Structure 1
Amino acid sequence: MDKLEMMKTFLCVAQEGSFSKAANKLELSPQLVSKYVAVLEQKLRSRLFHRTTRKVTLTEAGKLYSKRCIQILTDIDEAESALADWHQNVSGELTLNAPMSFGHRHLPALLADFRRQYPDVDINLTLTDDKIDLVEAGVDVALRIGALKSDLLIAKKVADMRLAMMASPDYLKRFGTPKTVDDLRNHVFLNYSFAEQDQLKQFLGINVSELNIQLPIKANNGDYLVEAAAQGGGIVLQPTFIASDCLREGRLVEILPQEKLTDLGLYLVYTNRTFLPNKVRSFIDFTANYYDGVPEWEKPLLNLSPTSDSKS
């Protein structure tokens, strides 16, 4: 039997001074009410009521037990009320994790706008390109670029991530502008070390060894690779959310735009979709709406034309 139900039944009998009145109020049978009280008395090894044909009153043990029951049930009601308020109010600490380059470039504006709408939410943000364990790290939501590979996590795509192959005008002037994939032969390629395999093979299906493509630099940070390319260091394949400024300023130009690269996506990743705290649900919905349509980093590139420079 449910002990809380028995306690509530006991208190109702005490308040009504009658088993039958308590049964009517609780919409239970008088037999069940009597059974609940009898079970309690047996468990407590104490008689809780003085019973007469006209009235039911508490014994000394019954009075002591009723005080504790009232306190216990009040505490439970307050706990449930506090949890209901917690779900209704958007407040508390929101723990986030995001990739270094994306977080540095694009999260300050998003989080500032989010807190303007939800000022009672405090943000605890960690930036790292390592794939951390969300549960072990106590992370509410992680922003991930790429496809979700764990069936234990929930992922919501909130924006497209366009990849572009780029090089500086100076590099292309010195080594020529590739017009086809085969023209990449003997070119220098700056490789992202966190890619699961060679980027050219992963996103273009190119066999690097066959084209004798040089891979002299590998780095674990997209910002570094984009700047290295802008300095004339070689060709780079990176998302436009990193390279947008360099492309807009003309420090980099897009090459092989006709090639259909395997684009990525920006995902919100979390551990469970049920019983989400309001702070988490609000952040997920806010971010999805924030990136609805053309992302901010892509807008300056809409009117840019890819390079038409020829081989020198």
Structure 2
Amino acid sequence: MDRIDAMRAFVTVVSEGSFTRAAERLELSPQLVSKYVSQLEQRLGVRLLNRTTRKSHLTEAGARLYPRAQQLLNDVDDMEHQLGDLQTQARGRLRISAPVSFAIRHLAPLLSDFQRAHPAVGIDLQLNDRKVDIVEEGFDVALRIGHLKSSSLIAKRIAPIRLVLCASPEYLKRYGTPRCPEDLEAHRYLRYSYMEQEAGESLLRWLPGHDPQRGDQVNSDFISNNGDVLVEAAIAGGGLALQPTFISGSAIKEGKLQVILAEHEPEPMSLYAVYAHRQLLASKVRCFVDFLDGYFGDPPHWDRFD
């Protein structure tokens, strides 16, 4: 027995005054309405209605149940309407996981614009360069950079992520500009800790300090898990950095960094919006993913330095 349906049948019989009118209002047969009420009485172990051929009267137990059942049904209807609003209107708290440097440099304007368009959505932004488990950790959507492997998650490509090898003009003047990949072994390399996870092994085979047989770093001069630190170190003359243009682009445009070996530029990665389900997707997630699409331009604004 569906207790909500049975409760609704009972309340409607009382409010309409008869099983026939209740059946018309509920668009059910009178026999089914009567069956629902009888099942409710059996479950509760009390008679709720005294039935006559023309009218039904509340018993003492029915009179006690009626206002509480009516309130319960109102609460259920209200809950259903609120949950329905979550699917049709963007509202509620949106939990986002995003890479640290990308979020710091590029997400604040986007999130401000998004909230102006959807003021009923609150933002909870958590920054982390590791791959979070969006289901286990309770995120609605994660922004990820790299070459994604197949999984049960849904991923929408948002923008290309270009990687360039760069160094400061002062460093290149002092140590020379590499003309081919083989020249790189003589240089200092500023290594990003997660590059293997994001870029893939093929992008690293010609970089100094990497042993393809071992698959790890050897004799690395400078390792960090933050790309901004590495770009600043490169600007200061610390060595070569392979970094995405969303971090290095402004320094390249200002002449603080110089792209080297452009003809060997790695295959671009991508920025993805990753979420758990395609069906019954909350409106706040759907609206955010749609808002991301095309926001950064084509090509992205951080690549407009060539």
In structure 2, distance between residues paired with 1:201 and 1:16: 73
Give the structure-1-normalised TM-score. Answer: 0.85
Q: Give, in angstroms, the shift of residue 297 of structure 1.
A: 0.7
Match for 1:220 among 214, 222, 225? Answer: 225
Q: 1:107 to 1:244 in 2, by over 3 A?
A: same
Counterpart contact for 1:166–1:237, Cα < 8 Å: yes
Residues 147, 199 of structure 2: 8 Å contact kept: no
Matched, 1:5 2:19: no
Q: In 1, Cα distance between the equivalents of 2:279 and 2:229?
A: 39
Deviation (angstroms), 1:232: 2.1
**SS at structure 1 position matched to 2:196:** coil
How far the C-alpha of 1:239 sits from its partner, in A, is 0.5
Structure 2 equivalent of residue 284 of structure 1: 289
Q: Which residue of 1 aligns with 2:215?
A: none
Report what 1:267 is aligned to: 272
Q: Mean Cα displacement is larger for which, 249-258 or 55-64?
A: 55-64
Question: 1:201–1:85: structure 2 CA closer, same or farther, 3 Å change rule?
Answer: closer
Q: CA deviation at 1:209?
A: 5.4
* Partner Cα distance (1:119, 1:269) in 2: 23
Partner SS for 1:47: coil
Structure-2 change in CA distance of 1:293 and 1:198 (3 Å): closer
- CA gap of 1:159–1:50, structure 2 versus 1, over 3 A, is same
2:66 and 2:193 map into 1 onto residues whose CA distance is 68
Bigger radius of gyration, 1 or 2? 1
1: CA distance between counterparts of 2:18 and 2:116? 57
Using a 3 Å threshold, how does the CA distance of structure 1 residues 111 and 40 change in structure 2: closer, same or farther?
A: closer
Write the distance in 1 (CA, Å) between the matches of 2:199 and 2:10. Answer: 71
Q: Partners of 2:238 and 2:223 in 1: how far apart? A: 12
CA RMSD in angstroms comes to: 2.6
1:32-85 per-residue CA deviation (whole Å, 9 max, x = no partner) reads 233222222222222222233333222222222222221111111111122223
Aligned residue type for 1:215: S
Give secondary structure in 2 for the equivalent of 1:82: helix
2:164 partner SS = strand
Which portions of structure 1, spanning 4 or more consecutive aligned residues, are displaced by more than 4 angstroms? 197-201, 207-210
1:251 aligns with 2:251: no
Q: Percent identity?
A: 49
**Equivalent AA in structure 1 for residue 243 of structure 2:** Q
Query: Which residue of 1 is the match for residue 83 of structure 2?
Result: 83
- Secondary structure of the residue aligned to 1:135 is coil
Q: Which amino acid aligns with 2:228?
A: D
SS at match of 1:67: helix
Residues 46 and 204 of structure 1: is their aligned pair in 2 closer, same or farther, counting only changes over 3 Å? closer
Q: Partners in 2 of 1:6 and 1:199 — Cα distance?
A: 59
Aligned pairs for 1:183-194 (under 5 A) are: 183-194=183-194
One-letter identity of the residue aligned with 1:290: Y
Distance 1:149 1:28 in 2: 51
Give the 3 Å change call, closer, same or farther, for CA 43–201 of structure 1 in structure 2: closer
Q: Which 5+ residue runs of structure 1 have no aligned equivalent?
A: 305-312
Residue ranges of structure 2 left out of the alignment (5+ in a row): 213-217
**Kept after mapping to 2: 8 A contact 1:166/1:235:** yes
Could you give the per-residue CA deviations for residues 268-293 of structure 1, whole angstroms, max 9, x where no partner exists? 12233333332222221111231242
The residue matched to 1:73 in structure 2 has which SS? helix
